[in-house]
Chains A and B, each alone.
Chain A
Amino acid sequence: QSVLTQPPSVSGAPGQRVTISCTGSSSNIGAGYDVHWYQQLPGTAPKLLIYANSNRPSGVPDRFSGSKSGTSASLAITGLQAEDEADYYCQSYDSSLRGRVFGGGTKLTVL
């Protein structure tokens, strides 16, 4: 059971918009700690997608965006492309556990 809760899977057709939620608690997201998102393509290492809730590293398309409110955060992907098919993970810090925490991951399928 992950400290941050994500839906196991989401799907969408090419060109559509999907969102992935990440729900935490008062000891992590709700305490004000930043949320970061990672994309993991099959058979590869995770890659930073969004940092500090809503910032995109250089090279990440603006189709990807992040937001945070209260004890939750969301990743939105617009204009879905086949190459977006991957696993997505949210991550934050938990003050009770005194360590970094990940969501369980969400598998995105592009129909």
Chain B
Amino acid sequence: EVQLVESGGNLVQPGRSLRLSCAASGFTFADYAMHWVRQAPGKGLEWVSGISWNSGSIGYAGSVKGRFTISRDNAKNSLYLQMNSLRAEDMAFYFCAKDTRIGYTSGHFDYWGQGTLVTVSS
């Protein structure tokens, strides 16, 4: 059974940093691209970032480019999101999602985690 479990969400002050993790199991993690998708409370889904199977290709939404960094450790079956210079508008549930392809530009999200909440407030 595929499982994606996010962690690391917390209350953080504007301008500070936070690192999210996603532990994957039930599939060969190294064979697929992975993504972070976020959802502000009561709002729609927003793709944040994607990373190819071997970290060779990475993409970011314009709203987070230069502030967030996605990474993965295939040996640990884990996906990460380093979030710096956090803003109030970054407050959201952050979901980890598995792609169906090796590259982050194609495919679809066939499995999602339950999300971890990031609250940005002073």
Contacts and interface: CB of A to CB of B under 8 A. Distances in A.
Contacts, number: 63
Interface residues of B, number: 24
A93 B109 CA distance: 12
Nearest to B115: A45
A30 interface: no
B106 to A, nearest CB: 7
Contacts of B88: none
Interface of A is mostly: strand
20 contacts: A34-B108, A40-B45, A45-B95, A45-B112, A45-B113, A45-B115, A46-B95, A51-B108, A87-B44, A91-B45, A93-B106, A98-B59, A98-B105, A99-B50, A99-B60, A100-B35, A100-B104, A101-B47, A102-B45, A105-B44
Interface of B: 35, 37, 44-47, 50, 59-62, 95, 100, 104-106, 108-115
